[in-house]
Amino acid sequence: MLTLSNISQIYKQGNDSIKVLDNLSLKLDKFCNVGLIGPSGSGKSTLLNLIGLLENPTSGRIKINDLDCEELNLEEKTNFRRNNIGFIFQNNQLLEDFTCEENVALPLILNGISYKKSILKAQELLVDLGLDTRMKIKPSLLSGGEQQRVAVLRALIKRPLIILADEPTGSLDDLNAKNVFKQIINLSKKQKTTTITATHNIELLSYFDICYKIEKGKLIEYK
C-alpha cells in the first residue's frame, strides 16, 4: 500500500548540508493508523511532505499502491495527490469566506463533482459529527475544536488512500484533542484510510496501531 525505500532528504544551507532523513525505509501493507513522534526538527513534517508528494526526496523511492511516485511528472503528482491524499494541519487552514459546508465540500468541487452533490455529501458528514447546526456559518464563529472537526471532514470527504496529519490537535486543549483525534481514527477506520500522524502529544499514542520515532534521520518502532 505504501512503501518508502532508502529515503534520504538533505537540505543545503549556505555551504553546509543538513541531512534530515537518512536512508529511511517503511512498508505498510494495509490500512492502519500510524504515529510519528520525535522532537521539533527531527524530520516528522519532512517525512509527511515526502509521502504527500509535496517534496522530492534527495534519494530513494516512494510507492503508493505499487505506483512509483518518482516516475510521475509535476502535473501527475498534483492529480494523484488531489485524488488520493488528504491533509490535516494544526492551524486547520479553513477558508474564512466559505461556510463550513463549503469548506468540507471543496475537495469534491475541485475534483469536478457538482456543487449540489458536493454540498449534500458535506452536510451528511457534518451531521455525523454533530455539526448540523454549524453548516451555514463561517469558520471564525466556531470553537477551536469545531474548526478542527471541519478540517478533518474536508480531508476525508474524498475518501483518500492516505491521510497525513501534522500536529492535528496541537492547538487544542487536552479534552478537545482527544475527542478530535478519536473522530479522526474512527472515520479513517470506517473508510479504510491509512492515517499517518505526527504529534508531540504522548497521550494519543494508545490510539495508533503502530508508532515510530524519528531519531537521527531513522525510523525506530516506538513501543
Residues 6+ away with beta carbon under 8 Å from 96: 138, 139, 140
What single-letter amino acid sits at 152?
V
Antiparallel, parallel or unpaired: β 33-37 and 210-215:
parallel
Give CA–CA dist 203/48, Å, rounded.
21
143-190 pLDDT per residue, tens: 988 998 899 999 999 999 999 999 888 878 888 888 888 888 988 998
CATH of 2-221, one of 3.40.50.300, 3.90.650.10, 1.10.8.100, 3.40.50.720: 3.40.50.300
Q: Compute CA distances 36 → 60, 95, 112, 172, whole Å.
A: 20, 28, 33, 19
66-125 pLDDT per residue, tens: 899 999 999 999 999 999 999 998 888 899 999 999 999 999 999 899 999 999 999 999
Give CA–CA dist 121/24, Å, rounded.
38
| Domain edges within the chain | 2-221
Q: What are phi and psi of 220, to 5 degrees?
A: -125, 125
Say whether pTM exceeds 0.85. yes
- Cβ atoms within 10 A of the Cβ of 188, count? 24
Q: What are phi and psi of 60, to 5 degrees?
A: 105, 175
Give CA–CA dist 178/173, Å, rounded.
9
Three-point CA angle 30, 52, 164, nearest 5° = 65
Which pLDDT score is estimated for 221?
93
